[in-house]
Copies of this chain bind each other. A is one copy, B any other.
Amino acid sequence: MLKTKLEEFKEKIKSSGLKITPQRVAVYKEIAQSSDHPCAEELYERLKDKIEGISLTTVYRTLASLEKAGLVKRVPTLKDKIRYDAKVEPHSHFVCVNCGKIVDLDYVPPTPEEVKELGDSLTCTLMCYGICKECQVDE
């Protein structure tokens, strides 16, 4: 039987000893539908008009909870805001060094096993830095 993404979400939340709240569901749904690696503030902006009971603080705390539950992952950035990704499978990222935009790449980086000699690694990501199309036009 095929589980929906939301059912899987609820299961993982529960098995992490967390409770299912409207705020957590909303944050997870929003991030799972996004492909632009939003940060806490962006998620809050997108949700505050749709969801009655939501605050920026809660978005921050929700992301921390989801991260612990393995439902979202931080994406390392060059700028200062922490960005999140609901795609937790191995993949790569293209980062615009001008605007900070992070785009998913299909390139599958070496597996932890392949990079074993380095230590006990959990995940590997190939980060590519460059100037995205839009930023090239601006100059």
Contact = CB atoms under 8 A, between A and B. Distances in A.
Interface of A: 74, 76-78, 80, 82, 94-95, 97, 103, 105, 107, 109-110, 112, 115, 118-133, 136
Contacts of A136: 120
Of A77, A103, A119, chain B has the most CB atoms within 10 Å of the CB of A119
Nearest to A115: B128
Nearest to A126: B126
B94 A76 contact: no
A75 to B, nearest CB: 8
Contact of A128 (B82, B105, B121, B130): B121
Contact of A126 (B77, B105, B109): B109
A62 B102 CA distance: 27
Contacts of A124: 126-129
Contacts of A105: 115, 118
Contacts of A77: 76-77
A128 B112 contact: yes
A16 B118 CA distance: 37
Contact of A127 (B80, B103, B125, B131): B125
A93 to B, nearest CB: 9
